[in-house]
A = this chain, B = another copy of it.
């Protein structure tokens, strides 16, 4: 049987190893596994969200409200935009997929950072598009603007804060890049970790409402990180109505489950939980910076809920990751991104203790 030729080029996304896998492969008890690999919220699920899920558990047989009226209304209020500016995806991932399918085709070009979220290129390859990357993993206008002028890419991805590196791009630098875009270029500002950057330094805060003054910009946000809904798959896009309408054409019906909708509405209105998550993060992040300094390796200044440790020659990140895994601590090895580095979610104080203990053993 023949399949479309684009399939030949497709790599499958490598997800963070789930706890179940470590339990199965290494025989470690589930409660002993520490997962710091997928940037899940270490505070867990907000109690208000869990209560909402329990209250809706017996409605699992009913299809969701496909208009997503309530969630859009809640998001519109939070961001001071209109409902026609909003699209909801099964994670912001799914909106990336809509972007690729609405804008890209064989022969079109996408521009992104050298090291950035893997799904940008995976979805672009599914459309047969050509991928252009900057030399630096940081999003610098000195690199982006000339490449945009030369190649006129259909889509530009600005991931700020950037994943899996953790750095962020200042607001004025983001605007500089957006303003250099061709009218036919869609500039996607992926703010999946924006809550952490905004909390750390207001100069890095991108306000989706502010982006609406540009006709060709799409902002992406998610409930998976600061809002603690990684398992529920809910993200959102904010843009001018013309862009939202085009993306809506690619949206499959019922793309958000009934419980995910209910959970996201509850999460969106639980600002206290987000503040608590940010406060915990502010308290724990410096421990990771200190550990790296004390052990003679480098790290990237983090504007996210994770930190990227960069190892010197002679210390192999994959081996460190493997050593941690055997001790029941799951982190993300970045060698497939061409970096001798680990991406580690900043966890609870106890989880971080466990990570440092395991690291001590692995480093020997």
Contact = CB atoms under 8 A, between A and B. Distances in A.
A4 B97 contact: no
Interface in A238-286: 242-243, 246, 248-250, 252-255, 257-260, 263
Grouping DSSP codes into helix (H, G, I), strand (E, B) and loop, the A interface class, with mixed when no group exceeds half, is loop
Nearest to A8: B249
Interface string A118-129: 010000001000
Given A1-B243, A15-B63, A63-B231, A93 B253 contact: yes
A18 interface: yes
Given A50-B57, A186-B1, A252-B97, A66 B15 contact: yes
Interface residues of A, number: 79
B254 A7 contact: no
Contacts of A43: 61
Query: How many copies are assembled?
Result: 2
A216 interface: yes
Given A53-B259, A242-B1, A254-B93, A61 B230 contact: yes
A126 B97 contact: no
B64 A18 contact: yes
8 contacts: A15-B253, A18-B65, A21-B67, A40-B63, A43-B61, A54-B54, A60-B230, A60-B263
